[in-house]
Chain A
Amino acid sequence: MTQEAKLSHTAAMILQAIDAGLVYGFSVMETLGLPSGTVYPALRRLERDALIRSQWEKQSIADAELRPPRKYYRITAAGGSALAAAHRRYPLLERLLPVEEARRS
């Protein structure tokens, strides 16, 4: 409950984006139009509050695609609850970035 009360609109948008399948920091930036100086610190705070968790991509996958491995983020169960509470608090959040639409993009 405490975590839900702390979630700002920007943090809720980023959490919504991650839930929608935008699992990399840069893809969140591109989709939401937020600068890197906003997105990455917000990701640190969400991870600190255990609303998301991060994991490094396997090196073999990155090597196969000739690129460096990326760190991707997943929403946790606590993050899901916080996002549900954020939907009640910010009713337009779901319309801003629908999950299905984001996954298609």
Chain B
Amino acid sequence: MNRFLAAAEDRLLCAIALLAPSDRRAEWLREWRSELWHVCRCDHRSTAGSVDLTSLRFCLGALPDALEMRRIFGAGSTRAPIHRSASYCLLILAVILAASWAFALYSRPVIAERHTERYAVRPGLVLILNAHAASGPMNSIPVEIYRKWAGARQRYFDGLAFYRVERTVLAGGGRAVDLPIAHSSSQFFSLLGLPMEIGSAAPSSEPRLILSDLIWRRDFNADPHILGRTVRVGERLVSVAAVLPDGSWRLPGEAEAWLLEPDNAISSGGTGYVVARLKPDSWYAIRNSAANIAACDAKGNEQNLWVFSFSERTDGPWRDYFVPVFLALLVLPGLSSVFLSDKAVSTIRLSWSLTVVRCAFGAAKIAMILGIVYILPVDLAYCSTSGFAPAASCVQFLLTLTLSIFGFCWTVDDQRKRCPVCLRRVTHPARVGIASRTFLAWNGTELMCTGGHTLLYIPAAPTSWFYAPRWVYLDSSWKFLFAA
């Protein structure tokens, strides 16, 4: 029993020793073990019954002592260099990555961008805009022009549809709500090819209503028998035909319900959006995301139009990720030296385990940078968008490229300045030599590891005999300089 308690007391001291500063831990533990030996011997001499309790009480006194040691000696020796340690570096990257990921999980526009498989529109779909309104509101096509186009023979398109978003009162779900409702052509959803959650949006001569998933759940309590129910939209009575899945709507104009009606029933006046489907033999005309075309207006005058392709907006954020990352890798050697300072002027050889740890640290940094470079630009580019946002794609591309370049440069520079022994970042730069003697003597910057393991020499001007940074491993004779 006593042997078991003695072992437990020793384990207790070892556990408490973790609170002591690491550089003084061994000596602290040695003193307490020594004193405990004398306590046990002294108590054996006195009374056999109270031995364990006394020694245990003695061991518990180690706790305030370890805390006092930490308070007195911990500030200078362990806390100061922590911001240079490898774990601190990885922690900061992990926090940035986790914050970006958390934002991406809760931001609706970002979720919609990440889950583009929900937005499976048919290939060859385009949005037609008035060129003069390209920088302003997108709903720039009058319904009269659309009717003229829809009635004429088309050279490039085999289907056209119109919609206009207006705030209209919807009644029928227990209470009347004022919603943005898209007044659309009856063939609108069959042209888009979007699958419905329930019901069907096939063309019909009767006006019908499509509800968004949000409205169906919020105002109709997700009623599975909603199909065919008559509701009032403005002054009109229409039946509910289908429910659109969440995240499916990514066209311009925020709409929560869609009123499908024949083209001639859409009220005249005002402007809206026109969606068209290219004939398969006309796809070559829209090779890029946008193209310029000409058409006649109601008076027969030619007008310039912009055509934006939807198909490439269904590729998801990966499309604007790989290319800029690849470009950043290409320009990296031109912006930063890719030498990782593995040359050492000392004869000391690093153990393979230290080399593996250093490589693993570098790989972990690159993995986290790649993750951040993927998520953060998507967060920033799409956080304030609503569905259709051609500019967001450009913003994501530029942000990914910028972050990739800075991230890779930082990774290489940080890896180069990490001590191969302890992975602390070297510090205290000191200029050594003079520029005019570069070819006669050493000229450059010297940095040192605060742990006292290494010195790093970086040449000011690379020469044939000294072109890459070099490490010098310090032996035990340097220890006194780094003593706490």
Contacts and interface: CB of A to CB of B under 8 A. Distances in A.
Interface residues of B, number: 23
Interface centre among B33, B37, B38, B42 (most CB of A within 10 A): B38
Contact of B37 (A30, A39, A40, A67): A67
B34 A70 contact: yes
Given A44-B72, A48-B72, A37 B34 contact: no
Contacts of A40: 61-62, 64-65, 68
Nearest to B67: A41
A68 B59 CA distance: 17
A40 B60 CA distance: 12
Given A41-B65, A41-B68, A35 B31 contact: no
Interface in A14-34: 24-26, 30
Contacts of A48: 72
Contact of B62 (A30, A36, A68): A36
A67 B34 CA distance: 8
Contacts of A41: 64-65, 67-68
B38 A26 contact: yes
A32 B64 CA distance: 19
Binding site secondary structure of chain A: helix
Nearest to A42: B68
A71 interface: yes
A36 B58 contact: yes
B79 interface: no
B35 A70 contact: yes
A40 B58 CA distance: 11
Interface string B6-30: 0000000000000000000000001
Interface string B26-63: 00001101110111011000000000000001111111
Interface of B: 30-31, 33-35, 37-39, 41-42, 57-65, 67-69, 72
19 contacts: A24-B35, A26-B35, A26-B42, A26-B58, A35-B57, A36-B35, A36-B60, A36-B61, A36-B65, A37-B61, A38-B61, A41-B67, A44-B65, A44-B68, A45-B68, A48-B72, A67-B41, A70-B31, A71-B30
